Amino acid sequence: MKNNLLFKTALIIVIALLLLIPTAMINDLIYERENTQQLAVEEVSSKWGAEQTLTGPILSIPYYKYIKQYSKKDSAEKIIQIKEYIHFLPDVLDVNSSLKPEKRYRGIYEIVVYNSNIQFSGKFNSIELSNIDIPIKDILFDKAFVTIGINDLRGIEKQIDLNWNKENVSFNPGTVTNDIVNSGINADVKIGINDKTSYEFSFNLDLKGSQLLHFIPVGKTSDFKMESVWNNPSFNGAFLPDSRNVSESGFNAHWNIIHLNRNYPQVWVGSNHSVKDAAFGVDLLLPIDNYQKSTRTIKYAILFIALTFMVFFFVEILNKKFIHPIQYILVGFALIIFFSLLLALSEHIKFNYAFILSAILTLILITGYVKAILKSNNLTFLISGVLAILYTFIFVIIQLQDYALLIGSIGLFIILGIVMYFSRKIDWYNINLDKNN
């Protein structure tokens, strides 16, 4: 084994590849722990209130539609009366929202929930039916109602009253029709028949939810304002804020959206249009996602193993220090344990501190073992120095997410150049690993 370079090289490669098996197991463990965290989030959300998306207000008026139906038995024709709905969106919509986030815990897992106070106001300029080919006699104006879409009704904290042209109307649970939203509340309202009256509305909504709050712009002109003491928001969805201010004390944001920005009209019949693709809002992010960073770190496991084994191999060649395959395996396991330590520690302390502590513990373990088997301070310093540089390199890449590919590619290029430089004078055809020859 000492004198057969090809055999030794092949054996080292096989050991390195076999070490990817426990690496994959740790990667699966990260995925499992992440799923456990998600289950904890869902459990808390199910009792507090899930992610919320608010739609509306939408004014709907039912009407009778008549269709022909033929009997298969005698081919007789008869007229069937069905009820459908005309939907009107407001001309002006103003929404002011204030979020008060809280952190809840389920075991070791941290979950963000919030209380919100949301003030809606606006108006429908008039109920225009001239563009709708429906006879007036078939329209049930006395059955008109307003719908507010709310994803999770468990988040409603107080009774909601709609101020409709200075008249207060209480909302009822549920939706009358699923044409636009499947979950929400509704209130009966009074409207005239083909008059030019404008209808002003307003209501306050105290709503609980978890992590995410989205709105759907239904106004011809929609103006949204949001503020919170949360200092790590992620604005997402179909529209980004026109202006925003994020500081250590919180954030405030403003959206102004017109009907030309979305892909549905102000008036339509039935379920001809969908509004959900226009949702936008804020995600109250936790400052650190340790599972995502652990996953990114373990992708470099093969780099850790390959470079460490390469240094050991060159130590054997250049210094006639024989290293047994079992010793390669033990050092490889020490490298793999780093990722397990990182995962475990990052669930209890900040990820950066967990990375540094795991790296220091692993370096101490490998340095002590290498000193014992090589009995050389210089070689021990060389191997521990290489590992320290490698851990620092990976740590920097994890911090620079946007530039990770660039920095990683440059780093690997430099590493390859260094290896090629130090191996340029080795006569690979006349290498004898036996230190006695």
Closest of 50, 51, 78 to residue 66, by C-alpha: 78
Confidence of residue 1 (pLDDT cuts 50, 70, 90): very low
**Token output for 314:** 């060159």
CATH of domain 52-287: 2.60.40
Question: What are the E-state strand segments in 125-232?
Answer: 145-150, 161-164, 167-170, 172-173, 184-188, 199-210, 212-216, 221-228
For 367-380, what is the mean pLDDT? 85
Q: Quickly count: other Cβ atoms within 10 Å of residue 181's Cβ.
A: 22
96: β partners: 119, 225
Is the pLDDT reported for residue 437 higher than 50? no
Phi/psi of residue 230, nearest 5 degrees: -75, 130
Is the pLDDT reported for residue 2 higher than 60? no
Is the pLDDT reported for residue 222 higher than 90? yes
Q: Is 61 left (phi over 0), alpha (psi -120 to 50) or beta?
A: beta
Closest of 250, 215, 244 to residue 232, by C-alpha: 250
CA atoms of 357 and 135, how far apart (whole Å):
76
Half-sphere exposure at residue 49, Cβ-oriented, CA atoms within 13 angstroms: 25
What local confidence, expressed as pLDDT, does residue 12 receive? 84
For 89-109, what is the mean pLDDT? 88
Q: Where in the chain is the domain with CATH 2.60.40?
A: 52-287
Q: Hey, which of 60-64, 282-286, 394-398 has the most confident mean pLDDT?
A: 60-64
Question: 328 with 311: CB under 8 angstroms?
Answer: no
Q: What tens digit of pLDDT does each residue of 388-413 get?
A: 888 888 888 777 766 767 777 787 78
For 348-355, what is the mean pLDDT? 86
Q: What tens digit of pLDDT does each residue of 296-330 get?
A: 888 888 888 888 888 888 777 777 777 888 888 89
The proportion of the chain whose per-residue pLDDT surpasses 70, expressed as a percent, equals: 92
Question: 210 with 44: CB under 8 angstroms?
Answer: yes
> DSSP string spanning 340-360?
HHHHHHHTTS-HHHHHHHHHH
